[in-house]
Amino acid sequence: MMDSLAATERLSRVFADESVVQAMLDFEAALARVEARAGLIPESAAEAITRSATAEAFDAAELTRLSLRAGTPAIPLVRMLTERVRDLDAQAAGFVHWGATSQDVVDTALVLLLQQCRPVLESDHKRVVLALWRLSEEHADTVMLGRTLLQPAPPVTFGLKAAGWLAAVKRGWVRVASRFDQSLYLQFGGASGTLAALADHGVAVSQALATELGVPCPDAPWHGHRDRLAALMAALSIYIGSLGKMALDLALLQQFEIGEIAEPGGDGRGGSSTMPNKRNPTGCMLAVAAAKRTPGLLANFIAGMLQEHERGSGGWQAEWASVEGIIQAAGVSLESMAEVLEGVRVNSVRMRQNIEATRGAVFAEKAMIMLAPEIGRDAAHQAVAEALPDIPGLEVPEDYLGSAEAFRRRLLGSEE
């Protein structure tokens, strides 16, 4: 309940207890299989370990309780797995977790979970991109007030505004996608990151394990080096910020006295517990809230990068909550904004009325530019300031859009 505004159902399934346990067990089972193929443990042991590595057979609540005392979920997990394997094959129990260390299990499980998160985020990203493209194209000629420092400014088009949001979101996802590619590596180093327990088989087993799990194999274990994960968290945080900026713009345009857009309603969306007349910008609110909490989560992750020597104490143990929080913030933002953008109603009539309500004041720059060649810029500035709002011929917003359409098309990537 406490995280009901900070999580999505799909991502919550990825981070559910059973899913997390299964990711750790997948590491253990894959390790056993590749070590058996390398002749390091008996094939029968690998079979017993693989058969025992099913999350539904583990007590997640007990594992959570024991994890707090152990300082990592890997220690009680390995103990529980060993007992299950012993029930099948007493000899095989001695080969569970062979050559690995606790952080290998936890880090690789996190990588496997992040792999599952990527397509969830990407599917909603594509929805946002498609909806913004449609809005920009449909409203290429829809004039509206520009707003600087929250005050009326010369007109823009809603198409240009949507294209600006779109370009930022697309740039953000390029960064996120590249960081996913560069961050999700196998972790397998054993006690001190040398795989000494495997003698001269360490590199070969690492490569085989990475292939078995479907992740890249790094040049060396990265227990104390969190820079790649940090880069992914930073890219996601920037992306969430771009979604939040768009959400804030849209929320402000929904204010009653502005009334230029409206979020889709229905199914209890956007209502008020006390004011039946209200339609709150709920989707935008969730995205803005996500953008506001993300910087703190990122700061926590960055602070944890200071890890002592080969494996740190407290740094990587602090990461999981931050990683899940940032991933969930991205998921909430994307899911919410996709729904908003796919159903948003644009009130082009109100947009023009809001321009007209300024009685030409937003065209003061235009008037000054017209006068400046004759009397100089400073004199023109003063004259226009004194004459507003009584200067005729300045009320056509389409006549003062400058390069708005050229910029819009360039942002959409459609310029020839």
Q: Where are the extended beta strands (E) located within 64-199?
A: 143-148, 151-157
Going by pLDDT thresholds of 50, 70 and 90, the confidence category of residue 32 is very high
Q: Regarding beta strands 151-157 and 261-262, do their DSSP bridges make them parallel or antiparallel, or are they unpaired?
A: unpaired
**Residue 169 maps to a domain:** yes
For residues 168 and 291, membership in a common domain is answered with yes
- Of all residues in the chain, the percent with pLDDT exceeding 90 is 78
Sign of CA dihedral 336, 342, 348, 349: negative
Q: Domain of residue 398: give its range.
A: 353-405
Q: Check if the beta carbon of residue 152 is closer than 8 Å to that of residue 211.
A: no
For residues 34 and 96, membership in a common domain is answered with yes
For residues 374 and 319, membership in a common domain is answered with no
Residues 393-407: tens digit of each pLDDT: 566 888 888 898 999
Residues 127-166: tens digit of each pLDDT: 999 999 999 999 999 999 999 999 999 999 999 999 999 9
Partnered with residue 345 across adjacent β-strands are 262
> Which whole-number Å values give the CA distances from 275 to 146, 280, 344, in the listed order?
31, 10, 22
Token pair listed for 117 = 């998160």
Instruction: Say how many domains are in the chain.
Output: 3
Q: Check if the beta carbon of residue 350 is closer than 8 Å to that of residue 259.
A: yes
Domain boundary residue among 221, 247, 274? 221
- Which of 22-31, 57-66, 168-177, 406-415 is predicted with the least confidence, judged by mean pLDDT? 406-415
- Which of 27-31, 262-266, 408-412 is predicted with the least confidence, judged by mean pLDDT? 262-266
Instruction: Name the pTM for this structure.
Output: 0.91
For residues 80 and 208, membership in a common domain is answered with yes
Mean pLDDT calculated for residue range 360-378: 68
Going by pLDDT thresholds of 50, 70 and 90, the confidence category of residue 51 is very high
Tokens 């910020």: give the residue: 241
DSSP string across 47-83: HHHHHH--GGGS-HHHHHHHHHHHTSSHHHHHHHHHH
For residues 38 and 136, membership in a common domain is answered with no
Q: Which pLDDT value is given to residue 266?
A: 66
For residues 239 and 303, membership in a common domain is answered with yes
**Residue 109 maps to a domain:** no
Domain boundary residue among 175, 204, 221? 221
State how far the Cα of 154 lies from the Cα of 363, in Å rounded to an integer: 6
| Active site residues per annotation | 272, 311
**Residue 241 maps to a domain:** yes
- What are the residues whose beta carbons fall under 8 Å from the beta carbon of 320, sequence distance 6 or more? 106, 110
Longest dimension (CA), the chain: 98
For residues 260 and 174, membership in a common domain is answered with yes
Tokens 């058996």: give the residue: 36
Q: Which pLDDT value is given to residue 395?
A: 67
Q: Which pLDDT value is given to residue 273?
A: 42
Q: Check if the beta carbon of residue 135 is closer than 8 Å to that of residue 120.
A: no
State how far the Cα of 348 lies from the Cα of 262, in Å rounded to an integer: 12
- Which of 136-150, 218-232, 380-394 is predicted with the least confidence, judged by mean pLDDT? 380-394
For residues 158 and 254, membership in a common domain is answered with yes
State how far the Cα of 330 lies from the Cα of 338, in Å rounded to an integer: 12
What's the mean per-residue pLDDT of the chain?
91
Q: Which pLDDT value is given to residue 276?
A: 43
User: How would you label 251-272 residue by residue, b for 16+ Cβ within 10 Å and e otherwise?
Assistant: bebbeeebebbbbbeeeeebee
> Which whole-number Å values give the CA distances from 357 to 54, 260, 298, 388, in the listed order?
66, 14, 43, 13
**Residue 88 maps to a domain:** yes
**Residue 296 maps to a domain:** yes
State how far the Cα of 35 lies from the Cα of 52, in Å rounded to an integer: 17
Residues 90-127: tens digit of each pLDDT: 999 999 999 999 999 999 999 999 999 999 999 999 99
**Residue 108 maps to a domain:** no
For residues 268 and 174, membership in a common domain is answered with yes
Q: Which pLDDT value is given to residue 146?
A: 95
- Which of 55-69, 164-178, 373-387 is predicted with the least confidence, judged by mean pLDDT? 373-387
Domain boundary residue among 198, 221, 244? 221
CATH code where residue 332 lies: 1.20.200.10
Q: Which pLDDT value is given to residue 380?
A: 55
**Residue 96 maps to a domain:** yes
| φ, ψ at 352 (rounded to 5°) | -70, -40
DSSP string across 369-396: HHHHHHH-HHHHHHHHHHHTT--TT---
Output 265 or 321, whichever has higher pLDDT.
Answer: 321
- Which of 70-74, 192-196, 252-256, 275-279 is predicted with the least confidence, judged by mean pLDDT? 275-279
Q: Which pLDDT value is given to residue 272?
A: 47
Residue from 136, 176, 188 nearest 157 by CA:
136
- Which of 70-74, 176-180, 282-286, 386-390 is predicted with the least confidence, judged by mean pLDDT? 386-390
For residues 193 and 140, membership in a common domain is answered with no
For residues 200 and 330, membership in a common domain is answered with no
For residues 162 and 279, membership in a common domain is answered with yes
Mean pLDDT calculated for residue range 270-294: 78
**Residue 279 maps to a domain:** yes
Going by pLDDT thresholds of 50, 70 and 90, the confidence category of residue 274 is very low
- What are the residues whose beta carbons fall under 8 Å from the beta carbon of 77, sequence distance 6 or more? 21, 24, 25, 28, 58, 63, 105
Given a cut of 60, whether residue 270 has pLDDT beyond it is: no
Q: Check if the beta carbon of residue 142 is closer than 8 Å to that of residue 346.
A: yes
CATH code where residue 38 lies: 1.10.275.10
Mean pLDDT calculated for residue range 82-90: 96
